[in-house]
Amino acid sequence: MNNTLFNAVFFIGLTSVVVFVILILVLLILTVKDRVTSKKNVKRGLIGSTTVFGIMALAFILNWMYNPNFLPKGYLSQELESPGGQYSARVYNYTGFIDHKNVRVEVFNNETQKEKTVFYSFVDGPLQISWKGQKTIEIQEKTLNVEKDTFDFRYD
């Protein structure tokens, strides 16, 4: 996902979460008020709006937490070729809305022309990255096999 699109989706998603929380609070207040006064004033439109914003907020949170394609592309800052030349590790940095330095490492298979994100985390200071073998890379003291391992700070 390109950086501009990521910023827009992040802003819309965060806004959806905030609006959803506000609507839930309004519904709770109206429900308590109706119970005290024995009236039924809860509007269907308010319930519908809460449902829509709840679904939007849930979709945003699930994408943010579990979808590696939701990550921002970032700016290419470094590229390292594996010892045999079959793979290239591309390091992308992204700062955006967040005050930390996001780092995403993508491994590109030079033979099949396919790419795979193998590392995503916040990094303060310079990134420590080096190839330890043809298919093994070490990033921030984490050793990964580029064909089967990944590290994502959000759930690793």
Instruction: Give the other-Cβ count within 10 Å of 87's Cβ.
Output: 22
Q: Does residue 105 share a domain with residue 43?
A: no
Q: Does residue 142 share a domain with residue 85?
A: yes
Query: If you average pLDDT over each of 32-46, 66-80, 141-155, which comes out highest?
Result: 141-155
3-state secondary structure 44-64: HHHHHHHHHHHHHHHHHHHHH
Q: Does residue 81 share a domain with residue 28?
A: no
Looking at per-residue pLDDT, the higher value among 27 and 156 belongs to: 27
Domain of 122? 74-152
What's residue 88's pLDDT? 95
Q: Does residue 84 share a domain with residue 15?
A: no
What's residue 145's pLDDT? 94
Q: What is the percent of the chain with per-residue pLDDT over 70, rounded to a whole number? A: 92
What's residue 5's pLDDT? 75
Domain boundary among 69, 88, 114: 69
Domain boundary among 69, 91, 120: 69
Detail the DSSP E strand segments found in the chain.
75-81, 87-94, 102-109, 114-122, 129-131, 136-139, 142-145, 151-152
Q: Does residue 84 share a domain with residue 65?
A: no
Secondary structure (DSSP) of 66-85: H-GGGS---EEEEEEE-TTS
Taking only the tens place, the pLDDT of each residue in 98-132 is 555 788 899 999 999 999 989 988 887 788 999 99
How many domains does the structure of the chain reveal? 2
Q: Does residue 145 share a domain with residue 80?
A: yes
**pLDDT score of 154 more than 80:** no
Q: Does residue 101 share a domain with residue 62?
A: no
> How high does pLDDT run on average in the chain?
84
Looking at per-residue pLDDT, the higher value among 97 and 135 belongs to: 135
Q: Does residue 106 share a domain with residue 55?
A: no
Put the strands of the sheet holding 87-94 in their side by side order: 75-81, 87-94, 102-109, 114-122, 151-152
Domain boundary among 34, 69, 104: 69
Q: Does residue 112 share a domain with residue 91?
A: yes
What's residue 114's pLDDT? 92
Lowest mean pLDDT among 20-24, 32-36, 41-45, 92-96: 41-45
What's residue 63's pLDDT? 80
What's residue 3's pLDDT? 64
- pTM of the predicted model, to two decimals? 0.68
Q: Does residue 101 share a domain with residue 39?
A: no
Q: Name which of 100, 87, 98 is nearest 147 in CA terms.
A: 87
Taking only the tens place, the pLDDT of each residue in 53-88 is 888 888 888 887 777 677 777 888 899 999 989 999
Q: Does residue 45 share a domain with residue 103?
A: no
Q: How far apart are CA 43 and CA 138, in angstroms?
A: 57
Q: Does residue 143 share a domain with residue 82?
A: yes
